[in-house]
Structure 1
Amino acid sequence: MNNDRTPELLSPAGNWDCARAAVANGADAIFFGLSRFNARLRADNFTDEDLPELMNFLHAHGVKGFVTMNTLIFTSELEDAEVQLRLLERSGVDAIIVQDLGLAMLCRAVAPSIEIHASTQMTITSPEGLEFIDSLYKLDRAVLSRELSLVEINKFNPSECVPLEVFVHGALCVAYSGQCLTSESLGQRSANRGECAQACRMPYELVIDGEIQDMGEKRYLLSPQDLAAVDLVPDLVNQGVVSYKIEGRLKTPEYVAAVTRVYRKAIDDAVAQRDSTITDHERYAMEMTFSRGLSTGWLAGTDHPYLTHGKYGKKRGIRVGTVENCGPGWIVFNQEGNVGLKAGDGIVFDAGENRDLEQGSRIWTVEGTVLNFSNKHCRINWDRIRPGIEIYKTDDPKLNSEVKALWKNAKLEPVKSGLKITVTGSEGTPLSLESNGLTASTSELLQSAENRPLTTDSLTAQLGRLGNTAYSLGSIDNKLEDGLIIPVSALNRTRRALVEKLDQHAEAQPIIDKAISKLTLSDIMPTKPESEPAPAELSTLARHPHQIEAALEAGINRIYADFEDIRRYKEAVEIVRSAGGDATIHLATPRIQKPQETGYFKFIDKAEPDGVLIRNLGAVRYFEDHDGLYRTGDFSLNCANPATAKILKERASLDHLTLSYDLNVQQLIDMLDQAPSEWFELTLHQHMPMFHMEHCVFCTFMSTGTSYKDCGRPCEKHKVQLRDRVGQLHTLAADVGCRNTLFNGRAQTGARFYDEVRATGLSRYRIDFLDEDKESTLLTLQAYQQLIEKKTDGHMLWQDLGIMEKLGVTEGTLEVKS
């Protein structure tokens, strides 16, 4: 461990009360959002007007403030983002947590005093990906993806690389942060824009080979338990991880207080190399304030059923036992564990039923193991309560009051500046006090002392009386001549005069002491040249060999292969090469690359394709010196504005870029109006890849195993779909890393927007296939060829596709919200 990197506890703050709760319970820093550009728009958030007061409050208490600007930034928002960055710098904000590559570069240009922390939304999953991002900005910190284990984190060499931040507590997203398109695809509420609709917390049915499976009480197939890595903190400290992050900007101040308190102890204990001092009661408080069940997430390694048991998706509390016997208004329960029940506590009965229909109540009285309920206030249908049903404690009013006091009644003492005071003077001159370049002197003159002359000890006693000021006495440099004296009252008046000067000087200083950069947004934007648009052309992404064959028959000249089994990539190359002609074959990398997974890239190299479709930052790094290979950046690189495009084109040396799937058609046009159209390709037709997950549904709910090592690979034997609450079926697929993608069951088309987009000069258009047979693939390609050859129009094609596709089509993310 590098001893120069002191571990930091980072707590969430959705509002002022949460900020106070974090500070009162030991946070070293808080993270918070403003009304725009943050991934928790449903939190209360702070206003621009709050910033100076908030930062003064934090800094007065020795706490740092980090602002979340962790969303993608659209072209029309870049100017507003620049304004916000300059405001943050003026307000003394310590760092921004950022997702968008262009925004990070803008921050370096216009607000250079602000630290840049790469958000978990950047999907940093490998040392290679971190190296690439650090080469762009010289990062101050990187927040790693939550899917990494302790072993994988150690591969980053945390004590030596860019300072690392790891989530240690709170809700887990089932999808990789920065790679979830579910809310955008289903409801135009992008998780990359702070509008997540939490589709992962909804119930789903499992459909295997067309048959709906009876899953019993397991309905929440994509809802992980919450993360609680408190017992793994010593391992992370020993590895050299710098920052320990608690999730929860949508949570209460009680949650912030209870959880911060526990992790403060955990970090301090780990640094001191002592046994844990966290009490059982503190752990109980941590879990009761909010949990969906607690787990160590991915940090302890892969155990799919442990992480996502499927039984519930909302706050649950703590299991306390089961029903032994019951009757109207009472139950006898079998207590489990050491968490008891008392009058006033809230409970819920878990009968394995629909969670919207489950029953609960507050306890009226407790008589041993008998719980009685008020006939007046209880709404329980006792005919539905039976022995064996599980009981969860969901609320503890006494604990609530206790935890509220942790922040409500806390006396927050500002951190005082330790003053170094130099004392000078000689007989017949004033006594002078100097600190931080400011001086105050007595009006009285120093005299020879007959007894009790001034000494360093007596000066310390008087000058240390700093009371309610913002200062404490750090040290005295006594340069007085020996044997002198002056009245104590004169010394005290001079001390007060010095403090007043120090205060006036502090108030006169700007919040930051650095000149605002003279660079502007235009300095990082690309230049759009005047040029004639190239002829429109179609490319195809195939996930099966027969789709490649169909693409060749249709005369498609750019073919991307994205096979689950990358060992078949050589077959894809051979199919294209053996066909002769002008077609080129480009192989897709996995969406995610973890430590020690560069073998996937080497496999692509050995297949000798014409190009590679790059889907993650590690692949950007790996292929950046492959000059003979055509490099296309895929949608997962989140290219949503011209500044990001310029970085990926010029710094990552990509030949062209797939436009972000978060853009609607107007946002696409805004971007194409300010960047060279030849840089880009638009996916015009696809089944949107919604969830991309480390969580394996196949392993969890179709095997008795815990990982790919013992699951039996059901993904290779069955067609699996998830059926949502409205009856829509969505296709589930696994990739080479056993990561799951859930694809939207309805195809998305931009056919009706084609003419509008084409008018910008964009010439490349891509058609992605999922599990279509060869005939359907060929018919779809021919239909889009009719469009770009102007033999049909977008509206007619849209109608035809609605007939061709079994479930119809949607305009999905491309449609402009009214």
Structure 2
Amino acid sequence: MELLAPAGNLSCALAAFDSGADAVYAGLKRFNARERTENFTMDEMSRLLAYAHRMKKKVYVAFNTLIKENEVGEASGELAALEALRPDALIVQDLGVVRIAREYFPKLTLHGSTQMGLHNSAGLAFARELGLSRVILERQTTLSELEAMMRANPPVEVEIFIHGALCCCISGTCLLSSWLGGWSGNRGKCKQPCRRRYRGIDGNGFFLSAQDLGTLEILPRLMKTGVASFKIEGRLRRPDYVSNVVAAYRMVLDARSDEEFREVLPAAKARLARTCGRKWSLGYFTKESAAQLVKHDAMGVSGLLCGKVISTSPNGFTVLPGRPFYTGDMIRVQPVSGDEGPSFCITKMSVKGQSVFRADSGVETFIHSDKEIPKNGIVYKIGERVEDYSKRIEALPPQKPLLDLEVEISRGKCRVVCGKAQWEKTLTLDEAGNQPLRPGRVEQEFGEIHDDRWEIGSVRVTVEGNPFLPASVLKALRKECVETMFPALSPPENSVSGALERFRADYAALKHVPAMPKPPDTALVPRGKHPHIAERCVIAREIGSNPAPSEELVLPFYIDEASLKSVREAIAAYVKKGGRVVRITSLCHFPLLKEYPGLVLKTCMPLPVCNSLAVKELAERGAALVQGSLELGGSELEALAKKSVLPFEIYRFGRPALLSTRAELPVRGKMRDSKGDEFFVEKHGILTQVFAEKVMEIPAVRGADVSFYDFRFADGRKTESARFNFDISLA
């Protein structure tokens, strides 16, 4: 069972490994869903990989944001550099990134990010078809649903979150931060508006702020599911947090019996208590927890409440502590509005002009700072003084160049190929009988090769003729190969640069051919509504509105495991009566539609399509038309339209859901934030959804073939509208 820890920088990575993590996940400076943290340069990532692999640990690189068309070139260059480094896996969200990595940089192992929103067995099946080896399951999956999926022996490894901050929204579908200024959570820029205070009909509160996840007490049950990896959230956190959380879960994971588990649980909880987080919960794992996950009277911040700001000045602020804190601690000063406040490390404090190391409860203390401090702000401790890792980091060597080996073993010979060099040894081996030689044994043995100039990258093994190969002979073969072939080896050729040039040529050839004849526009209309629509508009309806054969069927984007059967039945009924056009709003729909090859498949929000490589991937999966992501700006939609190999559609009118959740929200009807932005909250089936009061309405986009109008929550009558990110560039 893998314990996977967050690493926002090298210090956090070292803290994680020191405390018992089997692997860490980390991001580069671009294209990861936590761009607000320090992250890694390519050189730092090289050093981390060298250290981790020397310690028999793993490193997964988060490359899990949506990529705009004008970023495809830069993203492909980063992928090429990563293949040269060979992390243990790449965590991905964007279908375009999946395609580039799989087709041009196949030595990169791919894991599906939770941002892909895969939450049922159909989604896991599609992940395998995409070439993913692991899926990080969407966090609103319940424990019983997880157990049902794992009993079915999924075709990919499954990774789940076991601790840390929780998003209120279903992963990959949140538009709230983006709606409020173009800061997309799907691109690592989230401003966390879910943590703000809102005012509703019955008063104000933190209506969207979820408690943290903590699963120590149910870990034995989670272990029995058979998932491959337990993941800790927290790439924005410091080494002290990472160390304490990893150590706590390591204690419990190492318990060898129920009795030992009960013995170590109090110590593990005590270790977790030092982490300065929000209140722990079981998240969405149980219905009871989901019902109590959001507390309107709990400020949406993490940390230990320590005091209140009583005055500010240009060089700092005075705080009245409610509990002690120290120089070297990390604090956040939170505005009473609940908006994000400044966070920093305390470097100097004074009481009545005298420098102090400790701020005592009830003693007014001046904290020296050049930050802009909110008046009447609330002070939270978010981290403790940590070990100085700087000397260890300075001593980390970069990773050596990687050698890829091909090893062929039969009863008559052993042959090893490395680039243009090869070594061969004649053998006389008996047949193995019922104990065949496993390729993994050979891969492990040759992976142990050590050389001052190189490191072993991949080892591809072919076994023929069922040879019996004793361990001592295999070890001797490896030793002789190293002594004979390795001294004469030249530096490995840079195959990555060739793959990158091939990609660039293929990308340059992509272009959009306007659909002829021009397809009709589409209007999504619920039963009982009769908005004014254009004459040539095709009607689309959701499953609950029972579409006619001439209408398009829009599938629900969230289908819990228990509902898969009813959705399959609804698809079958639609096809049986002659329906032929289906709208795909989630990747999990592709396996559900496989048995109907004659259907016309069109993508639809909230499934995001942001670049032409994603379009090409969808085309190969059977899509006949794609809808551009709602988040994109006008110029970005136009750039995508020019390169789309499929007919391209724009969402031009409607009230898209900005946030969808399985949590019970303590608000219904209208609410507004401190800046006057208004929203309304409605329950639809198992989901509660938040919509903007303003209707999204944008003009036509040059190069787009068709338009999409959504009348589910807007009727077309005159009302205040917004253009979302149309007039700006998506951050």
- Output the CA distance in 1 between the equivalents of 2:70 and 2:320: 61
What is residue 726 of structure 1 aligned with on the other side? 675
Amino acid at match of 2:677: Q
Matches within 5 A, 1:70-89: 70-89=64-83
SS of structure 2 residue aligned to 1:18? helix
What is residue 368 of structure 1 aligned with on the other side? none
SS of structure 1 residue aligned to 2:635? helix
| CA-CA distance at 1:524 after TM superposition | 7.9
SS of structure 1 residue aligned to 2:539? strand
1:688 to 656, 669, 672: 656
CA contact (8 A) 2:654 2:697 kept: yes
What is residue 573 of structure 2 aligned with on the other side? 606
What is residue 175 of structure 2 aligned with on the other side? 181
What do residues 244-296 of structure 1 show as CA deviations (whole Å, max 9, x unaligned)?
11111111111111111112222222689942554645423423323111111
CA contact (8 A) 1:106 1:524 kept: no
What is residue 467 of structure 1 aligned with on the other side? none
CA contact (8 A) 1:110 1:517 kept: no
Matches within 5 A, 1:29-178: 29-137=23-131, 139-157=132-150, 160-161=153-154, 162-178=156-172
**Alignment of 1:373 onto 2:362:** yes
Equivalences, count: 614
| CA-CA distance at 1:155 after TM superposition | 1.9
- Output the CA distance in 2 between the equivalents of 1:273 and 1:85: 47
| CA-CA distance at 1:511 after TM superposition | 9.3
What is residue 642 of structure 1 aligned with on the other side? 612
What do residues 522-543 of structure 1 show as CA deviations (whole Å, max 9, x unaligned)?
5589854656754474321224
- Output the CA distance in 1 between the equivalents of 2:523 and 2:59: 47
- Output the CA distance in 2 between the equivalents of 1:532 and 1:357: 46
**Alignment of 1:560 onto 2:540:** yes
- Output the CA distance in 2 between the equivalents of 1:239 and 1:510: 45
What is residue 672 of structure 1 aligned with on the other side? 641
Matches within 5 A, 1:283-682: 283-310=269-296, 311-317=298-304, 373-374=362-363, 395=381, 400-401=384-385, 404=387, 518=499, 520-521=502-503, 527-528=510-511, 534-535=517-518, 537-547=520-530, 550-551=532-533, 554-562=534-542, 566-567=543-544, 569-570=545-546, 573=548, 584-598=550-564, 599-606=566-573, 608=577, 609-651=579-621, 653-676=622-645, 678=647, 680-682=648-650
| CA-CA distance at 1:505 after TM superposition | 6.4
SS of structure 1 residue aligned to 2:231? strand
2:691 to 743, 753, 770: 743
Distance 1:273-1:393 versus aligned 2 partners, 3 A rule: farther
2:708 to 742, 753, 766: 766
Distance 1:107-1:377 versus aligned 2 partners, 3 A rule: closer
- Output the CA distance in 2 between the equivalents of 1:45 and 1:33: 5
SS of structure 2 residue aligned to 1:656? strand
What do residues 76-106 of structure 1 show as CA deviations (whole Å, max 9, x unaligned)?
2222222211211212311100001121121
- Output the CA distance in 1 between the equivalents of 2:682 and 2:507: 39
Amino acid at match of 2:301: K
Distance 1:809-1:527 versus aligned 2 partners, 3 A rule: closer
- Output the CA distance in 1 between the equivalents of 2:77 and 2:551: 44
| CA-CA distance at 1:53 after TM superposition | 1.8
What is residue 461 of structure 1 aligned with on the other side? none
What is residue 202 of structure 2 aligned with on the other side? 213
Distance 1:258-1:413 versus aligned 2 partners, 3 A rule: farther
| CA-CA distance at 1:202 after TM superposition | 0.8
Amino acid at match of 1:31: Y
Amino acid at match of 1:688: P
SS of structure 2 residue aligned to 1:560? strand
| CA-CA distance at 1:772 after TM superposition | 3.8
| CA-CA distance at 1:330 after TM superposition | 12
Distance 1:37-1:476 versus aligned 2 partners, 3 A rule: closer
| CA-CA distance at 1:239 after TM superposition | 1.2
SS of structure 2 residue aligned to 1:593? coil
Amino acid at match of 1:249: R
- Output the CA distance in 2 between the equivalents of 1:630 and 1:223: 40
**Alignment of 1:258 onto 2:244:** yes
Distance 1:177-1:531 versus aligned 2 partners, 3 A rule: closer
CA contact (8 A) 1:171 1:247 kept: yes
CA contact (8 A) 2:6 2:232 kept: yes
Amino acid at match of 2:606: S
SS of structure 2 residue aligned to 1:546? coil
As a proportion of its length, which structure holds more helix?
Answer: 1
SS of structure 2 residue aligned to 1:637? coil
- Output the CA distance in 2 between the equivalents of 1:150 and 1:58: 32
Amino acid at match of 2:618: L
- Output the CA distance in 2 between the equivalents of 1:306 and 1:404: 37
- Output the CA distance in 2 between the equivalents of 1:44 and 1:810: 33
- Output the CA distance in 2 between the equivalents of 1:507 and 1:63: 30
CA contact (8 A) 1:262 1:278 kept: no
Per the normalisation by structure 1, the TM-score is: 0.66
Amino acid at match of 1:214: G
CA contact (8 A) 1:123 1:177 kept: yes
CA contact (8 A) 2:624 2:646 kept: no
CA contact (8 A) 2:83 2:496 kept: no
| CA-CA distance at 1:686 after TM superposition | 2.2
Matches within 5 A, 1:214-229: 214=203, 219-229=205-215
| CA-CA distance at 1:606 after TM superposition | 2.8
CA contact (8 A) 1:288 1:394 kept: no
CA contact (8 A) 2:655 2:691 kept: yes
- Output the CA distance in 2 between the equivalents of 1:675 and 1:356: 39
Bigger radius of gyration among the two = 1
SS of structure 1 residue aligned to 2:61? strand
Amino acid at match of 2:705: S
Amino acid at match of 1:670: A
CA contact (8 A) 2:524 2:709 kept: yes
Structure 2's unaligned 5+ residue stretches are 308-318, 352-359, 368-377, 398-422, 424-453, 455-469, 474-478
What is residue 809 of structure 1 aligned with on the other side? 722
Amino acid at match of 1:182: L
Distance 1:136-1:316 versus aligned 2 partners, 3 A rule: closer
What is residue 462 of structure 2 aligned with on the other side? none
CA RMSD in angstroms comes to 4.4
